[in-house]
Amino acid sequence: MTKVHFCRSSTIVGLLIQLVTFSRWNHVALEINGTIYEADMIYGVRKLPLAPFKKMWTETRALEVDVPNVLALYEFMEAQLGKKYDFTAILALPFRKDWQDPEKWYCSEYLAGGLRKGGVPVAVREDAHRVKPNDLWTALP
């Protein structure tokens, strides 16, 4: 089972991300069979069990996603583990700077990349300067 978890927190950073991105959500993560994959500001790209992940957020909503090629999705997500969080892209959000750096990820670009590898039609332009949590919220079927 594959789910996208949309998350929101009431921390200052979370509220700031919601404000700058015009979104109800300030984080997204992917669940594959009870394991969460995310790009975290402190830990970078990592995986963790679902239970402790859900306790970190004020609110979460999960959307089940039909992934045509789960193996390709899994391999992409695993290959990114240990990479750094993309602070440059976050700081560039208001300035429409190019967000793509294959060695660094922030949460929603990590998920968009993985979902595309898995054959999910993510309706966000691939040449867009950024993918925000709200973009995934509105783009996923």
Helical (H) or strand (E) element with 89:
helix 87-92
pLDDT value for 19: 81
First vs last Cα of the chain: how many Å apart?
A: 16
Q: What is the pTM of this model?
A: 0.87
pLDDT in tens, 65-104: 999 999 999 999 999 999 999 877 655 555 555 556 778 9
Q: Give buried/exposed letters for 102-120 (b at 16+ CB in 10 A, else e).
A: eebbbbbbbbbbbbbbbeb
Cβ–Cβ < 8 Å for 104, 83: yes
- 44-49, strands of its sheet edge to edge: 44-49, 35-40, 27-32, 2-8, 59-64
Q: What is the arithmetic mean of pLDDT over 35-58? A: 95
